[in-house]
Structures are given as C-alpha cells and as structure tokens.
Amino acid sequence: GEEVAQTPKHLVRGEGQKAKLYCAPIKGHSYVFWYQQVLKNEFKFLISFQNENVFDETGMPKERFSAKCLPNSPCSLEIQATKLEDSAVYFCASSQAGGSYNEQFFGPGTRLTVL
C-alpha cells in the first residue's frame, strides 16, 4: 500500500491481559520501526526490522514485549501480561532502506489503554 497501516486504532486491555498490535509497512519498504509514545510527547524506540530479521532491538523490554515481521504478513508487536505503564500510543514506521538518510513514514498509531 501507499501508507503505513496499523490496526487496531484503539485497544483496551485489563492489566495482565495480552495485547497484539499490527503494522503493514508501505509496499517495497524493507525496514520497519516500532516506537512507543507515552504521555504527550515522549517517544521511545522499541525495535526495528530489516525485512523479517530483527535489526535493532535495544529498546525492547525483553520480559513481556515481542515482535515479528513474517513474510507476506503484517508485522506484529505483542505485549504479554500488560501493565498500566504500557498505556501509550504505539507507532509503526517504515523506510525504503536502512541507514540514517532514509525518510521514515509513520502509521496512524494504535492507542493502547491498560485498565
């Protein structure tokens, strides 16, 4: 597609439940990034992929967060046993190639609310 698609738009989970978010990058883009926006303007990098391979996972909380990008499927970000502090907007971005000089295109985000 021409835009990064993210589903669902909103997700509400009780504390301890699982949450799974999806991202379809722009067709032809080989890099996918996940960012977490907590509060209004605090962004945190989580993980990036080069095609189906993890490229950089230094931002991932290892205990409860996992992510995948499988061929011919949307990428996913899964949170096991959600906590209140996981409430945030999760943005996916894609870029045509890696390296620092490639523009990242952002999806509309998934707002996760943990009650």
Using CB under 8 A as the binding rule, whether residue 61 contacts another protein is answered as no
Q: How far is the CB of 16 from another protein (least distance, A)?
A: 26
**What distance in Å separates the CA atoms of residue 29 and residue 103, rounded to the nearest whole number?**
11
Residue of 15, 17, 69 lying closest to 46 (CA atoms): 69
Of residues 82-111, those binding another protein (CB under 8 A): 89, 91, 95, 98-106, 108-109, 111
The reply on whether position 2 binds another protein by CB under 8 A is no
> From CA 35, how far away is CA 94, in angstroms rounded?
11
Of 91, 115, 86, which is closest to residue 22 (Cα–Cα)? Answer: 91
Which residue ranges make up the site for another protein (CB under 8 A)? 31, 33, 35, 40-43, 45, 48, 50, 55-56, 58-59, 89, 91, 95, 98-106, 108-109, 111
